[in-house]
Chain A
């Protein structure tokens, strides 16, 4: 018989529930839940202190498959529910699982405010550029011209960029990865977890039924190296199958541009070095879009700022310190009071 150690480390399997997964076969969500479980195991977090909160949509089913605490709520509102959870118990480790419709359409307002307030949670946005659970309508991230049951002639709306939105909302951590990148994605999730404050991670997720291959222009094996820029803090922004391409800052035009090393005298020293604390740079990275640019993956922006819970907690502590003797009875007697005795005499009021 094997002897089981008392405090055995939890494995990815320990974070799985006995519930049958109800995503479509081949859905990118399977890869994401796997990466999430791997990340939690590596982080060595406890199951009881971890809470997954979700709204509505395919992504929002994730809590049922995590053997932690979980709350599957209503459409778009997970950030608001999560904020309430953190106000009640800031010690809980809260993850939000959401989709592009859930968080950028019906719940856009709450995403804006949870980022702006910098509530210490991790927000995982599964972006598949489509409404899956309602059977394939275009979403706020769908590209112009997307054909769907509600747009048979093609969508006439310009899409929103999830990471540009997050940066504009004041997010202090912006990460990006792809469902199938099983080494990269857990790393980004770990970074997001270890960041104090609201951490926003966009995960490109393939919807095999309604939007299959929508990201293949940069995720397909044969083009990935040419179309993905893997950012690392302090390292030059070099990509390409032969590591021969880079991103340069054109100081005259004030824009980023793709350059080829070894051509026209371009050397590695001309290529931008990633600084994840640089907000101006982040603004340009989130705007890089195919086909002119590779898609930036990794940690696009990360800066430490005071969290919402810290501010709230400090005010409570101050109120407690300033009003040590103000119990409820004192509160009720504050201001003008007067006493009436059994013979209806009124006492001089005490202030």
Chain B
């Protein structure tokens, strides 16, 4: 049995998949060790998905429940599609972290706690009237209660750090222990620490000492048999070169790749907002790739600068979250009226208003599709996973340029921060779609149209003999001059609508992710619900129950076969992290009998929630 074998050669129990949740105070470095564990796990060949869950406060008062930061990782020998339902292991570096997370731990799950933080005062702050480690309330779990604080201080003692600096190493001690439990190699973290603390080598050495001490503790302490050590075999992933990628990184690289394929400069204009700021940070470091980044004075200036850039012949891109997108609304209307291409990224978060800035939601679908004054259609796409952001960003660039239209990309707080292994595409094998600017000086009709796409030509200022004026006033269908003519406005409104509708002919037909094309029940999702829906349907189908999964990337226009597909199912269930938005869209567009499954707790659906609901609806 594990733990009794001699020396370092531990025999490990093989597991199919494991969910670990690291938790602690927001200053404990939880996100950091979560990220390191994900890296080491990816290098061990597992498939994985992570879910960072942190408070809105940068440094909330220590020891409080609202200051608890958590990072969950699900890693597997099979394809991983979610960050996991209930954790198998809960690491809690203080009583508040235990109090906040314990209800979600699987019965029989393992708790790793730092008893060094279980003072009366900290217990009180966490709302405990007695010590849960002693009062029997944690009986149904396995416990590894260690004075991590004390062990960390001992491990770094000879490195002469201040008490505060020394205690900061306890996340590394904990990580070392968890590495040992799951047979992970420390190499990538050691290298990362050396690089990160390049200018403070004493901190690098101390953190590595703590990491090693935690690992040695696992090796040498006579841990009880029920703690165990495990291994999760490598997953069967397709051949290729891989890396871990967050949705934010994939989106940044996708936008750069898209504009590279379009052979055009990107001007990225943004105003900081959680959880979208990461995109600005990523792109600001890619200036050598024909990217200009602009931190504007506000959300409105950001979208306006993007529009100005597109007018001048670059591709303007702006990014925000729901409240910021609301501010950009009027300017997006200008881009629709003047038919200029821009890409607008919305990393959705829980609302309304400021809402829950660090919590995920997908409640801006109405805003994206309908949220402007007047009849003002545009293109809406949604990314379904961190790595999918790459492909969706390229598609957004392609459609914006080809159809001279704003394109909204819906991501969300979960996708933006979550990471997963990604097979790096061969950039030089992707097809280019170079922009062509109109420079034919024989005709200057800025609102003449391509018969097929209905797009107007893109004419760059600086082109001789093509001088013209555009603006937000309605313009004549033929000449492009200001027109207040009633019939012309009807024609222009129809035309703006037809142009966007016609894009349905340029996007793939809707496919079925799993299951038959007709049947008793289809689960229709969009965006980041992909993982839990996909996993739930695999499980249910494995039990021999016939259910289908349809997942939308193109939210507007919808794929042209979607109505017919939906008509082939007796029941349609639409799980969404909102109060029922796509379901309304489907019902209005197709008179469909689609029904909602809503969840707005700031956390993704669990696989079980979707499975249970499918069972329930199949029975009725």
Whether B2 sits at the interface, judged by CB under 8 Å, is no
For A342, the chain B residues whose CB sits under 8 A away are 239
Whether A287 sits at the interface, judged by CB under 8 Å, is no
Give per-residue flags for B292-322: 1 if the beta carbon is below 8 A from chain A beta carbons, else 0. Answer: 1010111011101111111111101000000
B471 touches A316 (CB 8 A): no
B300 touches A84 (CB 8 A): no
Task: Say whether, besides A73-B334, A92-B312, A328 and B260 are in contact (CB < 8 Å).
Answer: yes
Per a CB cutoff under 8 Å, which of A48, A49, A88, A91 touches B309? A88
A322's nearest neighbour on chain B, judged by CB, is: B288
A338 touches B241 (CB 8 A): yes
14 A–B contacts from the bound complex (CB under 8 Å): A48-B466, A49-B462, A72-B469, A72-B470, A73-B307, A84-B316, A85-B461, A92-B461, A315-B287, A316-B288, A316-B292, A323-B288, A336-B43, A339-B241
When A and B form their complex, which 6 residue pairs have the shortest distance between CB atoms, in order from nearest?
A84-B308, A72-B471, A84-B305, A80-B304, A88-B312, A70-B469
CB distance from A51 to the nearest CB of B (A): 5
Whether B237 sits at the interface, judged by CB under 8 Å, is yes
For B468, the chain A residues whose CB sits under 8 A away are 69-70
A341 touches B330 (CB 8 A): no
Segment at the B interface, from A107-115, A143-151, A173-181: A107-115
Whether B434 sits at the interface, judged by CB under 8 Å, is no
B334 touches A74 (CB 8 A): yes
A333's nearest neighbour on chain B, judged by CB, is: B424
CB distance from A306 to the nearest CB of B (A): 17
Whether B48 sits at the interface, judged by CB under 8 Å, is no
CB distance from B431 to the nearest CB of A (A): 15
Q: Which residues of B does A touch, CB under 8 Å?
A: 39, 42-45, 188, 191, 234, 236-244, 253, 256-257, 260, 265, 267, 269, 286-289, 292, 294, 296-298, 300-302, 304-314, 316, 330-331, 333-334, 338, 424-425, 427-428, 460-473, 481-482
A82's nearest neighbour on chain B, judged by CB, is: B308
Q: How far is it, in angstroms, between the C-alpha of A53 and the C-alpha of B471 when the chains are bound?
A: 10
A71 touches B471 (CB 8 A): yes
Per a CB cutoff under 8 Å, which of B39, B238, B425, B472 touches A72? B472
Q: From residue 184 to 240 of chain A, which have CB atoms closer than 8 A to chain B? A: none
For B473, the chain A residues whose CB sits under 8 A away are 72
B39 touches A74 (CB 8 A): no
A339's nearest neighbour on chain B, judged by CB, is: B241
A89's nearest neighbour on chain B, judged by CB, is: B312
B330's nearest neighbour on chain A, judged by CB, is: A74
A340 touches B240 (CB 8 A): yes
Whether A63 sits at the interface, judged by CB under 8 Å, is yes
Whether A2 sits at the interface, judged by CB under 8 Å, is no
CB distance from B345 to the nearest CB of A (A): 17
Whether A43 sits at the interface, judged by CB under 8 Å, is no
Per a CB cutoff under 8 Å, which of B239, B265, B334 touches A88? B265
A77 touches B289 (CB 8 A): no
For A336, the chain B residues whose CB sits under 8 A away are 39, 42-43, 188, 243-244
For B269, the chain A residues whose CB sits under 8 A away are 84, 87
CB distance from B35 to the nearest CB of A (A): 11
Q: How far is it, in angstroms, between the C-alpha of A208 and the C-alpha of B331 when the chains are bound?
A: 31
A340 touches B243 (CB 8 A): no
Per a CB cutoff under 8 Å, which of B309, B314, B427, B469 touches A69? B469
Q: How far is it, in angstroms, between the C-alpha of A336 and the C-alpha of B249 when the chains are bound?
A: 14
CB distance from B333 to the nearest CB of A (A): 8
B185's nearest neighbour on chain A, judged by CB, is: A349
For B296, the chain A residues whose CB sits under 8 A away are 80, 83, 113
For B304, the chain A residues whose CB sits under 8 A away are 73-74, 77, 80-81, 84, 110
Whether A337 sits at the interface, judged by CB under 8 Å, is yes
Whether A17 sits at the interface, judged by CB under 8 Å, is yes
For A319, the chain B residues whose CB sits under 8 A away are 287-288
For A312, the chain B residues whose CB sits under 8 A away are 292
